[in-house]
Amino acid sequence: MCFSATASFTAGAALTVVGVLTLRKSQGRRELPLALVPLLFGVQQLTEGVVWVSLGHDLAVVQSWATYLYSMFSHVLWPILVPFAILLVEPRIWRRKAISVFVALGLSVGLYLLFIIVRSPVTARVRGDSISYESPLFYLSVVLVVYLLATCISGLFSSHWCINVFGVLAFILAIVAAVVSITTFISVWCFYAAILSLLVYLHFSGPMQACRHMLSQPARSSNRLWRP
């Protein structure tokens, strides 16, 4: 697939629309963080479209700010938000305890990468048909492992099959993106993950309502503190 400003803007616009529809289908504060995922991916893709344009027209200031904003999504937001959002919609007690471990891991790696970004801002440049976000410390083995645990493996502990599928496919596509080109890994994988966020809309769509209601019943009876 060829990536470009057009691809980023198109994906961003589509995901923004889906994100708004997803928010309208969510119910209660517990579901809000998960429902925000497609919309936030839409904003991230629109931001990358700005990065593309700024690189093509040598707009240094715009490029710097857009790259910084994109990196806040890719490096900081996702490892923190994804496991936290999964935790909030999880009705099973033992699964919540397991997911809490990934929440802690995601918070740790997200704050670490925030420190790195503030200390040494990420730079962007075009490599072939993708953008390379140069952030050497992101590619340290321990950082990547913890990041993938928080954003992908946490989904495997969910009771909801859409979240399970998202976790599995996100992990597989992370491997594919790394094999294709580690230098453009962030851009390519985030693009794939953005498309996968359509599964969040499916999670909140009509056919899933009965399943979500059924899964929530044991939590209400077994844990009185965990209420919608």
Within 10 angstroms of residue 94's Cβ, the number of other Cβ atoms is 9
pLDDT, one tens digit per residue, over 57-73 is 878 888 889 999 999 99
Strands in the chain per DSSP E: 123-127, 130-134
Per-residue pLDDT of the chain (228 residues; tens, 9 = 90+): 447 888 889 989 999 999 999 998 888 889 999 999 999 999 999 999 999 999 888 788 888 899 999 999 999 999 999 999 999 999 999 999 999 999 999 999 999 999 999 888 788 888 877 888 887 777 788 999 999 999 999 999 999 999 999 999 999 999 998 888 788 888 888 888 888 888 898 888 855 555 555 545 544 444 444 444
Residue 146 φ then ψ, to 5°: -65, -40
pTM: 0.86
C-alpha to C-alpha distance for 170 and 181, rounded to whole angstroms:
16
C-alpha to C-alpha distance for 24 and 179, rounded to whole angstroms:
38
DSSP-derived secondary structure for 99-127: HHHHHHHHHHHHHHHHHHHHHS--EEEEE
For residue 82 the two structure tokens come to 């994804």
Per-residue confidence (pLDDT) for residue 49, from 0 to 100? 92
Contact (CB, 8 A) for 74 and 44: yes
Per-residue confidence (pLDDT) for residue 222, from 0 to 100? 41
Among 189, 48, 191, 193, which Cα is nearest to 126's? 48
pLDDT, one tens digit per residue, over 6-31 is 888 998 999 999 999 999 888 888 99
Among 130, 144, 185, 169, which Cα is nearest to 2's? 130
Contact (CB, 8 A) for 185 and 178: yes
Per-residue confidence (pLDDT) for residue 123, from 0 to 100? 87
Within 10 angstroms of residue 9's Cβ, the number of other Cβ atoms is 17
